[in-house]
Amino acid sequence: GRTIGILGGGQLGRMIALAGRAMGYRFAVLDPAEEAPARPVADVFVRGEFSDRAALLRLGAASDVVVYEFEHLDAEAVAALAESVPVPQGTALLRLAQHRALEKAALSAGGFPVAPYAAIARPEDWPAALRTVGLPALLKTTTGGYDGKGQWRLRTAAEAAAAEAIVRAAFRETGAGRSGEARSEGDAAGARFILERELAFRAELSVIVARRADGAMATFPPAENVHVRGILHRSIVPARVPKTVEERAVELARAIATHLDAVGLLAVEFFWLKDGALVVNELAPRPHNTGHYTLDAASTSQFEQFVRAVSGLPLGAVRLWSPVVMVNVLGEHLPALLKALPTLDPRFKVHLYGKAEARPGRKMGHVNILADSVEEALRLAEATGVWPELQAERENP
């Protein structure tokens, strides 16, 4: 099959299609947005809502195989689509990765370490959740969240009380989750929120595993990730952690991909704690922002590898050509970057997604900075003045 259908036409869909087109594939893309970033690089564009089953079937009819580039999809609709066209990523992992309580329960059941947490399936669950998890904590919606949206930090009793009010209001609004409903079994699936201990980490890491249906795997070098206000700010590769920590992260990621039978890509986010332990934060069953460095700094990019994995092609060797720092270009960074472009150091590899509206916090592009060391790349980034967060951090670590 030479036409790959993509559910989702955001920047990930765009970069999948750019990589796949170079390999001779055609692309069909489904997205609700008129100006979806992937639209200009798609052969077929189906404009429609992801909840519209007829639109999904139209995408399927135009495709030999269908993939998804984000996980907030109706898994039932994707399962129905999979009856008429192969969906190699499947729906089992999709169901977990789109729901924080199911994801954490599956990881725990598999013996993988996660932060202490409690699922909240009804307002009555709140007091016990707060007691078992304690403060500081994060309240997270189970579904729909990304870039730190749908999360609240609880550090004080007053913040905990405010969070309880948010939880109670959410249950009131929808009327579901009443006491007396069947407990345990359906608890994770029925949970609206999780309360999760806030961990004091030394660093955040991620590992992206490519896996084919026959179990063959290839892994990308771990990235060290820095988030600002819940949004990925930059990824640093090689990660500034001991070799043994890198090896453990890769081992865990491969074990999780195998345990959950991932096909395509699986990104595993980790916290590296002060006591040396690695804890899994969350999973993404698709290309991942922390893998964008591979576009310029690795012998196979995550996007090419994704196309290879879902097509059953041999997976590419992954060699890191150079130390690299990937810095995201958010809406607030774009004007300064555009201004700097004409004289920008050519070691800055600029990727822009073609989004028209540069809202604050919106991912507009990224820059891969290749240098002799990650320290040098970070210095180069800071010197541009495009990312004031870098300077603020050095002055105020």
Annotated binding site for ATP: 100, 140, 145-151, 196-199, 204, 227, 281-282
- Partner in contact with 338, chosen from Mg ion, ligand ATP, none, beta carbon below 5 to 8 Å by kind: none
* Count of C-beta atoms within a 10 Å radius of residue 316: 16
Nearer to Mg ion, 108 or 143 (CB): 143
Among 7-15, 48-56, 65-73, 142-150, which window interacts with ligand ATP (CB under 6 A)?
A: 142-150
State the nearest-atom distance from the C-beta of 104 to Mg ion, in Å.
12
Q: What is the footprint of ligand ATP within residues 149-208 (CB under 6 A)?
A: 149, 196-199, 204
Separation CA 328–CA 358 (nearest Å)? 13
SS3 278: strand
How far is it, in rounded angstroms, from Cα 274 to Cα 241?
A: 12
The CA distance from 96 to 78, in Å, is 14
Can you read off the two tokens belonging to residue 110? 């598999």
| Ranges assigned E (strand) in 85-216 | 117-120, 137-141, 151-154, 193-197, 201-211
Name which of residues 277 to 296 contact Mg ion (CB under 5 A).
282
- Residue 371: CB minimum distance to Mg ion, A: 26
The whole-angstrom separation of Cα 369 and Cα 349 is: 6
> Which residue type occupies 36?
A
State the residue for tokens 């809202």.
Answer: 359
Q: Closest CB to Mg ion among 123 and 285? A: 285
Least distance from ligand ATP to the Cβ atom of residue 141, Å: 9
Of 113, 261, 282, the residue nearest 194 (C-alpha): 282
286 binds, among Mg ion, ligand ATP, none (CB under 5 to 8 A by kind): none
CA 310-7-83 angle, 5° bins: 70
Instruction: Tell me: does residue 230 bind ligand ATP (CB under 6 A).
Output: yes
Question: What residues contact residue 137 under an 8 Å CB cut-off, 6+ apart?
Answer: 130, 154, 160, 195, 196, 197, 198
Encoded tokens for 230:
């819940």
Looking at the Cβ atoms of 282 and 332, the one nearer to Mg ion is: 282
Min CB(97)–ligand ATP separation in Å:
10
- Site string (269-288) toward ligand ATP, x via CB under 6 A: x-----------xx------
- Nearest residue (CB) to ligand ATP, 64 versus 147: 147
Q: Which of residues 99-128 bind ligand ATP (CB under 6 A)?
A: 115
> What are the tokens at 194?
């999780």
Least distance in angstroms from the C-beta of 223 to ligand ATP: 12
What does 196 interact with, of ligand ATP, Mg ion, none (CB < 5 to 8 A by kind)? Answer: ligand ATP
**Residue 98 CA from chain centroid, whole number:** 11
Build a one-symbol-per-residue string for 11-50: x at contacts with ligand ATP by CB under 6 A, - elsewhere. Answer: ----------------------------------------
Closest approach of Cβ 282 to ligand ATP, in Å?
5
Residue type, 277: A
Contact 7, 78 (CB under 8 A): yes
Least distance to ligand ATP from the beta carbon of 8, Å? 14
67 conformational bin, left if phi > 0, alpha if psi -120 to 50, beta if neither: beta
- Rank residues 26 and 103 by Cβ distance to ligand ATP and give the closer one: 103
Q: How far is Cα 148 from Cα 146, in angstroms, rounded to an integer?
A: 5
* Residues near ligand ATP, by CB under 6 A: 115, 138, 145-149, 196-199, 204, 227, 230, 269, 281-282
* Residues near Mg ion, by CB under 5 A: 269, 282
